[in-house]
C-alpha cells in the first residue's frame, strides 16, 4: 500500500502537467509547462525538448517567449511498446545534441517506479518542422534495463563526447546510481568491448527489492565540459510530487570523463558526494531539478524545471545564466520573478 500511495502521489502532478497544449500556444519562460528540459539552438531559434507524449517541443528566438511545437512522435515507437508493457507514448527526459551533420535525440521509456526501462534514439537533419528536410527517424533501442537482472535504470540519458572524440552516454536513476557507458562511433549502440563506469550513487536500503526504486534518490545526469574539467550535474531527492517535491541539483567534477567526480569537499559522487547548485525555496519553487547546460552567444545557460509554489506545484521552465567562481565552480543565481 505504501508503494502504491507513493506512485499515485508521483503521478498526480504529472497528470496535471499532461493536459494537452495546442501547437502554436506561446508562453513566457517561467509559465512554460515543462518537465526534464534540454535545450539546443539551430540558426536563430532555440528549441527545448522535454518529457511528454511523443516528446514535447518548444521553440523561442529570445529565450523569453516559448511556442509549443508539434511533438517528435505522432505514434509511440513500436519497439518501445513491446519492450515496456503498458507504455502508451509518454516519453521521458530527452537529450538533444548535434554531431556529424545530424541531431541525435536520446529518450527514455519506462514503467514508473520500476527499472523496466529503455533508452532509444532518433535522428534528424533539422529541427525546423517547416523545412522539407524535417523528419525524425527512430533508430530504436540503445540500452535496456531489466528488473532482477540489473541494479541500474536505463532512463535520463545524456550524451557527452570527450576531448578525444569518444562518445559516452550517462544515464540512471535510483537503484545503484548513475552509470556511464562508452558508445560506438555511430552513436546508436554500445561500443564493444563494453566499457562501463559508476559515477554517482547514494545510500540505498538493501532490504528494498531490486524491482522497486526505493531510496538512493539520485538521477538526471548531465555532463558538461568546461576548461580542463568535466562537470557532472545530478538531481537529488524527489521530483514529481508537486508541493511535496524537494528536488535539488548537485555537482562534482573530474579531469576525466570516466571520473571520479569530486565535490568541493573532495568527496566522490560515487560515495554520496555532491555540492548543491540549486534547490527549492518554499515561497517560490518547492523543488527544482533535472537540469541541462548549454553554451550560446558566449554564455553558459542552466536550464531546469521547478515546482511552482504560486501554481499548485505545477512544473515550469527555469533558465539562468551560469556564473563561475574563482575556482571554476558553477554558481546559479535564480531570479524570483
Q: Is 64 left (phi over 0), alpha (psi -120 to 50) or beta?
A: alpha
Kindly name the residue from 36, 69, 95, 176 that is annotated as catalytic.
Answer: 36
Residues 6+ apart with CB under 8 A from 244: 9, 238, 286, 313
The strands making up 229-236's β-sheet, listed across from edge to edge, are 218-226, 229-236, 248-254, 275-279
Closest CA to 102 of 150, 52, 156, 42: 42
Distances from the Cα of 33 to the Cαs of 261, 270, 297, in angstroms? Answer: 32, 32, 25
C-alpha grid cell for residue 280?
A: 527549492
Is residue 215 annotated as part of the catalytic site, yes or no? no
Strand partners for 331: 323
Q: Phi first, then psi: what are they for 97, rounded to 5°?
A: -155, 165
| CA 242 – CA 16 distance, rounded (Å) | 9
| CA 307 – CA 309 distance, rounded (Å) | 6
Is residue 186 annotated as part of the catalytic site, yes or no? no
| CA 171 – CA 161 distance, rounded (Å) | 14
Cell 563561475 belongs to which residue?
324
Kindly name the residue from 69, 219, 263, 308 that is annotated as catalytic.
Answer: 219
List the catalytic residues: 36, 219
Amino acid at each position: 500500500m505504501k508503494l502504491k500511495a507513493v506512485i499515485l502521489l508521483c503521478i498526480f502532478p504529472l497528470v496535471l502537467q499532461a493536459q494537452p497544449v495546442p501547437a502554436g500556444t506561446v508562453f513566457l519562460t517561467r509559465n512554460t509547462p515543462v518537465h526534464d528540459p534540454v535545450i539546443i539552438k539551430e540558426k536563430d531559434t532555440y528549441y527545448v525538448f522535454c518529457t511528454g507524449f511523443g516528446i514535447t517541443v518548444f521553440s523561442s528566438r529570445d529565450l523569453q517567449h516559448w511556442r509549443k511545437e508539434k511533438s517528435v512522435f505522432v505514434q509511440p515507437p513500436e519497439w518501445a511498446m513491446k519492450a515496456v508493457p503498458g507504455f502508451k507514448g509518454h516519453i521521458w527526459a530527452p537529450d538533444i545534441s548535434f554531431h556529424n551533420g545530424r541531431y541525435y535525440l536520446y529518450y527514455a521509456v519506462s514503467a514508473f517506479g520500476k527499472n523496466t526501462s529503455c533508452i532509444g534514439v532518433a535522428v534528424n537533419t533539422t529541427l525546423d518542422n517547416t523545412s522539407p528536410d524535417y523528419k525524425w527517424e527512430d533508430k530504436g533501442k540503445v540500452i535496456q534495463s531489466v528488473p532482477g537482472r540489473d541494479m541500474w535504470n536505463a532512463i535520463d540519458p545524456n550524451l557527452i563526447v570527450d576531448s578525444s572524440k569518444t562518445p559516452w552516454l550517462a544515464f540512471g536513476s535510483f537503484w545503484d546510481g548513475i552509470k556511464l557507458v562508452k558508445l560506438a562511433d555511430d552513436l546508436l549502440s554500445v561500443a564493444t568491448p563494453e566499457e562501463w563506469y559508476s559515477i554517482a550513487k547514494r545510500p540505498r536500503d538493501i532490504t528494498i527489492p531490486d524491482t522497486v526504486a526505493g531510496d538512493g534518490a539520485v538521477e538526471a545526469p548531465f555532463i558538461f565540459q568546461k576548461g580542463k574539467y568535466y562537470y557532472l550535474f545530478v538531481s537529488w531527492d524527489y521530483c514529481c510530487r508537486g508541493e511535496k517535491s524537494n528536488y535539488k541539483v548537485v555537482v562534482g567534477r573530474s579531469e576525466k570523463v570516466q571520473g571520479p567526480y569530486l565535490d568541493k569537499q573532495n568527496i566522490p559522487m560515487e560515495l554520496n558526494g555532491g555540492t548543491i547548485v540549486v534547490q527549492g525555496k518554499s515561497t517560490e519553487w518547492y523543488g527544482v531539478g533535472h537540469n541541462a547546460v548549454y553554451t550560446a552567444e558566449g554564455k553558459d545557460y542552466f536550464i531546469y524545471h521547478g515546482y511552482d509554489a504560486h501554481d499548485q506545484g505545477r512544473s515550469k521552465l527555469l533558465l539562468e545564466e551560469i556564473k563561475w567562481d574563482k575556482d571554476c565552480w558553477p554558481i546559479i543565481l535564480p531570479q524570483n520573478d
